Amino acid sequence: MTMTEVVNLVVFLIEDQRYALPLANVLRVISATEITKLPNPPICVLGIINFQGEVIPVLNLRKRLNLPEKEINAKHHFLLALTAKRKVALFIDAPQGLIEIDLSLFVDSDQFPSDTEEIHGGIKLDDGLVLIYNLEKFLSPNDELCLDAALRQIK
């Protein structure tokens, strides 16, 4: 009997592409809500939301992935996730669910064309590729400093 290593991923949709984060990084998915703008935020930060009394920055994956901007409406969602430094909300089109994947199906990011270091790799499924996002690479060190400064201004 051979042991296979599996990973649980939360899959979500942006435009027509599926992305995923490890379940360990995901807190929950909530309906999109109004965003409060920040003073001088990094370009990839839409603003902040108040979720259960906690101020959480909303990250714009569309901007980072060079996709067209979209007005947030009631059909959209925020995926609340943990990075090493903070809680964040990702603006997504729709959640797709939880999948359990054998790590042998993992494809490293150097195996397919991608110009963003935020893509950690992918999983080849029968119905297409799911790109695995690396949240730790989303904000550059300078973006983190800008975000910290903007958040301090609202406290």
* Whether residue 108 has pLDDT greater than 90: no
Q: Which CATH class is domain 6-154?
A: mainly beta
**pTM, entire model:** 0.85
* pLDDT tens string 62-107: 887 888 888 888 889 999 999 888 899 999 999 999 999 887 777 7
Q: What pLDDT score does 113 carry?
A: 61
* Whether residue 138 has pLDDT greater than 90: no
Q: What pLDDT score does 50 carry?
A: 92
Distances from the Cα of 97 to the Cα of 24, 46, 67, 72, 145, angstroms: 14, 24, 22, 21, 33
* Whether residue 1 has pLDDT greater than 50: no
Tokens of 121: 């790799």
